[in-house]
A and B are shown apart, each in its own frame.
Chain A
């Protein structure tokens, strides 16, 4: 199983850029990296997905170094509404059935006024 390690919690202030790093040292060649966001009392919501280098969409950017052993989710100019739990998922391995569908504890981001 490709396991991930993320900080348990982070604090930021409105207007700042927030970077959340996920470590996945045993990522397999065919694994993709996917990030989800979860607000209280809601199901997780897909944010961004990438394989290598940089991916950007209207919500966030995802930076993946050449060795792919880590990835960084970047949220530009956060607001109070970005307060949520962020999950990093890695997978699937070729031999895996549901490896990619395993969520860790995530990173709890608190944005302050």
Chain B
């Protein structure tokens, strides 16, 4: 099993450009998440999806949009990239429902994004 796969691994954008970060999981998990991690800081939740067809805002959703394309895939879109969005982005999934006491997250290896 590949687990959680993120593409691309690295990306450089100019301010104002748009791009979509892709995430796919092969564990048949219900819940999926997008986090960002800035240097020396913990992870901050951007958006999450409790099930196919549903998405909800997390802690820092401004400047981002998401799509839960199907049960496997959850994409994150930057419509007009800004330097403040330079970060490492992690996708995660969980077999349990969002907020379930037994929830355990499985993370991808991350996408390092630089916005110039």
Contacts and interface: CB of A to CB of B under 8 A. Distances in A.
Interface of A: 30-32, 34, 36, 41-46, 49, 51, 87, 91-92, 96-106
Contacts of B53: none
Given A41-B110, A42-B109, A102 B59 contact: yes
What DSSP secondary structure best describes chain B's contact surface? Answer: loop
Contacts of B106: 46
Contact of A104 (B42, B102, B107, B108): B42
A43 B92 contact: yes
Please classify how large the interface on chain B is, using the bins under 10, 10 to 19, 20 to 34, 35 or more: 20 to 34
Interface stretch (B14-22, B43-51, B65-73, B76-84): B43-51
7 contacts: A32-B102, A36-B105, A43-B110, A87-B43, A91-B99, A96-B99, A98-B56
Q: Which of A41, A91, A98, A99 has the most CB atoms of chain B within a 10 A radius of its CB? A: A98
Contact of A100 (B42, B59, B103): B103
B58 A98 contact: yes
Interface of B: 4, 33, 35, 40-45, 48, 56, 58-59, 90, 92, 98-110
A2 B44 CA distance: 15
Given A45-B107, A105-B41, 18 more contacts: A31-B101, A36-B105, A41-B110, A42-B110, A43-B4, A46-B105, A46-B106, A92-B101, A97-B56, A98-B48, A98-B58, A99-B99, A101-B48, A101-B103, A102-B45, A103-B35, A103-B42, A104-B42
Contact of B99 (A42, A43, A49, A98): A98
Nearest to B112: A41
A106 B104 contact: no
